[in-house]
Structure 1
Amino acid sequence: MCGEVDDNVQINQEILERFTVMSGMLGVSPPEASGKGPTGLAEADGRAAYMEQIFQAGLTRSLTDASLTEDDETVDAIASQAIAFARLAGFLAAQLPPDADLFRSVIESMTAGHGESAKLERQYHDAHAKRHGHSHGDDDHHHH
C-alpha cells in the first residue's frame, strides 16, 4: 500500500508539472502560493464542495464581466465566456491520463448546466408572469 501511495504522489507531481509547463506555454504562470488550497478532495463530498466553489467563482466573474460590458455587447460577452470556459474545461480534462475518462464527465456536466439554465429560465418566466398577473398562454401582446 505504501508503494501505491508513493506511485500516486509521483503521478500527481508529474501531472502538475506538465500542467504548469503547458499553462506557461499559453502565457499563464502559477500565482504565488498563499493561503490554503482545496482540501478533502479524496472524498466525494469534498470534491463536490470544491467544484461548487469553482462554479460560483466562475459564475460571479461571468456575471461581473457581463454587467460591465457595453449594452450592445452583453450577448457577445456571455457567448465568449461560454466558449472560453468550454476551452478551459477541455484543456483541464486533457491534463489527466486517458483512462480517467474525464472528457465524458465534462460533456455530461455541460449538458447538465445547459439543462439547469433552461429549468431556471422556466422558473423565471413563471415568476414574471405571476407578478404581472398573466400566464404566457395569455395573448395580451406583452412581449418579454
Structure 2
Amino acid sequence: MSEPEAIFDCRPNLLVNDLRASLEFYRSRLGFHVGWHWSDRQSRFLQADEPAEPGEPGTALVGRDQAQIILTQATGVHTTRLHLDVHTSAQVDQLFQEWADHGAVIAEPPTLRPWGMYEMRLHDPDGHVLRVSAPPAVTNS
C-alpha cells in the first residue's frame, strides 16, 4: 500500500497592510469565514467574538467552501495574484453577482478569455488580484 501524497492543498499567505480591514473585506464582501485569528501583540489566538484593536498586527486564516487563505499584516508594498478555480461558468457568474451586491469592486467582469477560461478579476483592499475562473459553458449548436 502506497503512502498518500504529502502535499495535497495550497493555502497562500497574503501580506496585508491592515489585518482588521482585510478580515472585514473577506468576511462581509466575499462571504469568507474566519477560521482563526492570532494577535502578535497579545501572543495568543483571539476568540471569534473578540475584536482586535485597530492596526493590531497578527495573522488570520479565512476560508470559503474548499479554499483557505492566510492573511498576515506586514508593512511595505506587496501584491499577490491568487487563482480560485470553480466548477462551472454559472458559479463564476453567481460569485460575481454576490460579491458586486456586497460592494466588492470587480476589476474585470466575467468574460471568456483568449486562453479558453471564463474568468473575472477583482482586487482586495491591499491590491492583491483575485482571479476566479471555470471552463466555459458548453453550448449545443
- TM-score, normalised on structure 2? 0.29
Relative contact order, CA 8 A, sep 6+: which one is greater? 2
Could you say which structure has the higher helix fraction?
1
Kindly name which structure, 1 or 2, has the bigger radius of gyration based on alpha carbons: 1
- TM-score, normalised on structure 1? 0.29
Could you say which structure has the higher strand fraction?
2
